[in-house]
């Protein structure tokens, strides 16, 4: 039986929204000009932006604190660079996890001439600002590993990430590495039931005081991202 643990739903329709002609950003937490007393960070997780960038365009951002940055292209590819001399190209089916110090300037560009790209950028506070790795594209295979959670390597042992693609009515259990941690679940595509809570595409769910998290896909080819963080 699924136990309903303490949690908080972050609905896609209630996200912050920033849009100009060539860029659109939906903000799960307070970011930029978006401020809402109910959208404060979940533990060290303080940015979860769902961004769309037009062909040939680029955005630049300053990371406000020592952070671990997770980039996940959803449609197309993105080119990453920063003021530390790093540069990579990351495609859908890959991600990048990078520890970056406070006041780093990162730039994300669309390498295509006319096609839109869609990607997630997720930032976590971390205790050390020293870069922990060289940014590189990390592949994850959710096609040949369907109906299970596929781990994504983190640079900081405090964090654990997993992503999975599921057929309708398929189930999975995520066991926390530390029961004192919390879990933030983000539905990329489709619909899921997670701990008795119904989530649609781009909804988020913060959970705490749990040893494990049970989830069931309610649609075919549903994709979910699971992030375990210290609280």
pLDDT tens profile 171-225: 999 999 999 999 999 999 999 999 999 999 999 999 999 999 999 999 999 999 9
63 has a pLDDT exceeding 90: yes
Residue 135's pLDDT is 87
134 has a pLDDT exceeding 80: no
Q: Which CATH class is domain 140-229?
A: mainly beta
For 92-109, write each residue's pLDDT tens digit.
999 999 999 999 999 999
Average pLDDT for 115-119: 99
Domains of the chain, by residue range, sit at 14-138, 140-229
Identical fold, 14-138 and 140-229: yes
- Hey, which CATH number is domain 14-138, 2.40.30.110, 3.40.50.11810, 2.60.120.1360, 2.60.120.10? 2.60.120.10
What integer best gives the mean pLDDT of the chain?
94
157 has a pLDDT exceeding 90: no
The mean-pLDDT minimum among 51-60, 80-89, 151-160 falls in 151-160
Answer yes or no: pTM beyond 0.85: yes
Average pLDDT for 104-129: 94
Three-class SS of the chain: CCCCCEEEEECHHHCEEEEECCEEEEECCCECCECCCCCCCECCEEEEEEEEECCCCEEEEECCCCEEEEEEEEECEEEEEECCCCEEEEECCEEEEEEECCCCEEEEECCCCCCCEEEEEEEEECCCCCCCCCCCCEECCCCCCCCCCEEECCCCCCCEEEEEEECCCCEEEEECCCCCCEEEEEEEECCEEECCEEECCCCEEEEECCCEEEEEECCCCEEEEEEEECC
- Matching residue, tokens 């609280």: 231
């Amino acid at each position: 039986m699924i136990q309903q643990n303490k949690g908080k739903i972050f609905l896609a329709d209630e996200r912050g929204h920033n849009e100009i002609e060539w860029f659109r950003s939906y903000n799960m937490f307070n970011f930029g000009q978006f401020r809402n007393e109910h959208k404060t960070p979940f533990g060290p997780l303080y940015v979860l932006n769902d961004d769309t960038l037009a062909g040939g365009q680029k955005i630049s951002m300053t990371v406000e604190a020592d952070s671990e940055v997770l980039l996940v292209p959803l449609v197309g590819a993105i080119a990453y660079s920063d003021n530390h001399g790093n540069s990579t190209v990351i495609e859908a089916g890959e991600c990048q996890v990078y520890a970056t110090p406070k006041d780093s300037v990162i730039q994300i560009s669309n390498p295509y001439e006319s096609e839109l790209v869609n990607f997630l950028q997720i930032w976590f506070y971390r205790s050390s600002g020293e870069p922990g790795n060289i940014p590189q594209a990390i592949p994850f295979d959710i096609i040949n590993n369907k109906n299970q959670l596929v781990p994504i390597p983190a640079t900081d042992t405090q964090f654990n990430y997993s992503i999975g693609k599921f057929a309708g009515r398929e189930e999975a259990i995520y066991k926390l590495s530390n029961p004192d941690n919390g879990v933030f679940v983000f539905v990329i595509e489709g619909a899921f039931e997670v701990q008795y809570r119904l989530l649609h595409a781009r909804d988020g769910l913060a959970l705490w005081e749990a040893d494990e998290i049970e989830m069931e896909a309610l649609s075919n080819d549903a994709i979910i991202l699971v992030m375990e963080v210290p609280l």
